[in-house]
Amino acid sequence: MQLSYCVVNTDGCELLLACLEAIERTHPKDVTHELLVLDNASDDGSAAAVAEHHPGARLIALERRRGKAENDSALLREARGRHCLLLNEDSELRPGAARALLDTLEREPRAGAAGAQLLTSAGQPTACAWRLPNAGWALAAALFVQDRYAVQSGGEDIREVGWVQSSAMLVRRSAAEQVGFLDPAFFVYSDETDFCKRLHDAGWKILFVPAARAVHHDQLGNDPASMRRRIVEFHRNRDRYFRKHDQHATRLLWKACWTWAYLVRAAVALALPGRDPRRYLLHARQELMPGRGEGVREAAEARNRVLEQASPSSKVSPRHGAR
């Protein structure tokens, strides 16, 4: 098996079906492949829709909600392909994307992962590859030039980068197995950063492939509670990244520089129409105190508790369906 498409979905039925249709529409005809879909205990009928419209998919339907890193790792372990294309349900491959990513890994035997150029829903390129977090990035943030310093997803040539988003990331399965897959301690955010860092440390390259393009729709909710949870989770896991990799001096510098940058943005937002300074203030607070507040993990755990109380006898293990 050459290629395993590995898709994680959480309550995104319509987007998921569009993602799977894009896979079918753009798949290289001469490449042996399989399709794996992990449904993260959705409430919107996603699992049933996959079974109905894509009966050839290997479906893993969870009964308890889990984190993105744990779910991606589950798919990588289940996959039979030499290469695994990790996708979110809100990602749609453009023609030639899978071929460009596969050709890149085949030409570069020391490449452990390759990321596609992500596009907005309007088709505009968006930042999707960065340096690994370091002191230089923190100082650039304090001077408000962090994008110029840290973003590595520009240009038309394949290039080595620090890390790429897992929204459309092709992974060499043997490399992922060597480093122990993704770390489930990262519920969401910084999971792919940590994964790429460990690949680097093991001698693998991370590549950005601009010829491979995928639309990444922003399906995240806009309600204030959801925004707060995402901000809490983002800063919690960036702090976890620094602690895990013993980057204590960088962690402190990052905290000082980014807190300053967020406070300045909050002050500017007061004078600009349509800007919410409270969002930047929340970022500043979480940067200073990343262990404070409830994030996406707590929301998932609370949902799981409600389900278990409603159906105490129900199973909590995944349901595997090979169709």
Q: Is residue 150 part of a domain?
A: yes
- What's the pLDDT at 221? 53
212 and 235 both lie in a single domain: no
- What's the pLDDT at 316? 40
- What's the pLDDT at 312? 59
Tell whether the model's pLDDT for residue 42 goes beyond 90.
yes
Q: Is residue 208 part of a domain?
A: yes
Label residue 186 exposed, middle or buried (CB < 10 Å: 0-12, 13-18, 19+). buried
Our count of domains for the chain comes to 2
What's the rounded mean pLDDT across residues 30-49?
Answer: 97
- Give the model's confidence band at 307: pLDDT under 50 very low, under 70 low, under 90 confident, else very high: confident
- Crossing angle of helices 97-107 and 13-26, rounded to 10°: 60
Q: Is residue 69 part of a domain?
A: yes
146 and 241 both lie in a single domain: no
Whether 41 contacts 63, CB under 8 Å:
yes
66 and 201 both lie in a single domain: yes
What's the rounded mean pLDDT across residues 240-254?
Answer: 98
- What's the pLDDT at 323? 39
Phi, psi (rounded to 5 degrees) for 106:
-70, -35
Q: Is residue 319 part of a domain?
A: no
Q: Is residue 9 part of a domain?
A: yes
Alpha-carbon dihedral sign for residues 48, 49, 53, 54: negative
Whether 199 contacts 103, CB under 8 Å:
no
303 and 189 both lie in a single domain: no
- What's the pLDDT at 219? 58
Phi, psi (rounded to 5 degrees) for 290:
-65, -20
90-107 burial by CB neighbour count: b if 16+ within 10 A, else e? bbbbbeebbbbbbbbbee
37 and 149 both lie in a single domain: yes
195 and 306 both lie in a single domain: no
Which of 157, 182, 216 marks a domain boundary? 216
48 and 107 both lie in a single domain: yes
Least confident of 102-106, 296-300, 315-319: 315-319
Of 92, 96, 113, 115, the C-alpha closest to 31 is 96
The count of other CB atoms within 10 Å of the CB of residue 25 is 11
53 and 178 both lie in a single domain: yes
Compare 50 and 318 and report the one with higher pLDDT. 50
Share of the chain above pLDDT 70, in %: 95
Q: Is residue 316 part of a domain?
A: no
The pLDDT tens digits for 264-290 are: 999 999 999 888 899 999 999 999 999
DSSP 97-165: HHHHHHHHHHH-TTEEEEEEEEE-TTS-B---EEPPP-HHHHHHHHTT-HHHHHB---SSS-EE-SEE-
Which of 174, 195, 216 marks a domain boundary? 216
Q: Is residue 209 part of a domain?
A: yes
Q: Report if pTM > 0.85.
A: yes
63 and 187 both lie in a single domain: yes
- What's the pLDDT at 89? 97
208 and 228 both lie in a single domain: no
83 and 115 both lie in a single domain: yes
Which of 193, 216, 239 marks a domain boundary? 216
The pLDDT tens digits for 104-157 are: 999 999 999 999 999 999 999 999 999 999 999 999 999 999 999 999 998 999
Q: Is residue 322 part of a domain?
A: no
Label residue 263 exposed, middle or buried (CB < 10 Å: 0-12, 13-18, 19+). middle
Q: What is the mean pLDDT of the chain?
A: 94
What's the rounded mean pLDDT across residues 54-83?
Answer: 97
- What's the pLDDT at 218? 73
The pLDDT tens digits for 144-158 are: 999 999 999 989 999
Segments of 193-298 assigned E as strands:
205-216
191 and 233 both lie in a single domain: no
SS3 212: strand
What CATH number is associated with residue 105? 3.90.550.10
Query: How far, CA to CA in Å, does 121 sit from each of 89, 90, 126?
Result: 14, 10, 10
Domain that holds residue 250: 224-310
Tell whether the model's pLDDT for residue 27 goes beyond 50.
yes
